[in-house]
């Protein structure tokens, strides 16, 4: 656990200005005519900060959340994840204003998040004026439609800031032994 003296020095050293998110991305893959997978690559610490404590200085957020007991942190993570899930929507162009149901969310576990928070805290202590970035966290989910998906619109949580969306429909082909594949086009 971080000592009070170190925490005070860190809080004084870091500016209280808003923390800018690293670029985030989303990949939508149409697996078959009605099934789409969503993979988000997000700067998770920054998104958590925006969801859980945007009124605090970023350094204070790191100090409090990196030192939480795992069960307390899990409750806070679940609160943020529920918020992110409820703000993420996929719409078919023909389905009036009703979004598809997104299921099977896979979030990072509490230990991984706590380690990430602690690393960001240590980076902030080591270089208070630096602007550190973390490796984006991968979050997966999926949706199924009752009709063929030919187009989608996605709405993402504000906490993710600007998100680059990549979408595609993979083509598959079997290759027999000792035979070249048919021509593969991109």
Average pLDDT across each block of 10 residues of the chain; the chain has 186 residues. List them in order: 46 41 84 94 95 93 94 97 97 81 97 93 77 84 93 95 93 89 84
pLDDT of residue 171: 83
Does residue 45 fall inside a structural domain? Answer: yes
Q: How far apart are CA 166 and CA 175, in angstroms?
A: 27
Does residue 184 fall inside a structural domain? Answer: no
- The token duo for 15 is 């500016």
pLDDT of residue 170: 87
Domain that holds residue 162: 4-15+24-166
Which segments of the chain does DSSP mark as H helices, in order? 4-13, 44-52, 58-66, 70-87, 110-126
User: How many domains are there within the chain?
Assistant: 1
Does residue 71 fall inside a structural domain? Answer: yes
For 128, residues 6+ apart whose C-beta sits below 8 A from its C-beta are 10, 13, 14
Does residue 66 fall inside a structural domain? Answer: yes
Does residue 10 fall inside a structural domain? Answer: yes
> What pTM, to 2 d.p., does this model score?
0.80
Q: How far apart are CA 39 and CA 29, in angstroms?
A: 8
pLDDT of residue 186: 78
């Amino acid at each position: 656990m971080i000592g009070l003296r170190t925490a005070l020095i860190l809080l004084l050293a870091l500016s209280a200005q808003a923390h800018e998110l690293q670029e985030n991305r989303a990949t939508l893959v149409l697996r078959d005519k009605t099934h789409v997978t969503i993979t988000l690559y997000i700067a998770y610490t920054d998104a958590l900060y925006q969801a859980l404590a945007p009124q605090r200085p970023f350094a204070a957020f790191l100090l409090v959340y990196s030192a939480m007991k795992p069960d307390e942190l899990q409750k806070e993570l679940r609160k943020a994840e529920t918020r992110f899930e409820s703000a993420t929507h996929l719409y078919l162009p023909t389905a009036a204003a009703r979004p598809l149901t997104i299921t099977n969310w896979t979030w990072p576990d509490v230990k991984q998040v706590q380690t990430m928070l602690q690393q960001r805290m240590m980076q902030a202590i080591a270089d208070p004026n630096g602007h550190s970035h973390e490796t984006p966290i991968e979050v997966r989910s999926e949706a199924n439609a009752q009709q063929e998906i030919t187009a989608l619109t996605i709405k993402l949580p504000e906490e993710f800031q600007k998100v680059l969306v990549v979408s595609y429909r993979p083509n598959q082909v079997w290759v027999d032994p000792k035979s070249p594949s048919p021509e593969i086009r991109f």
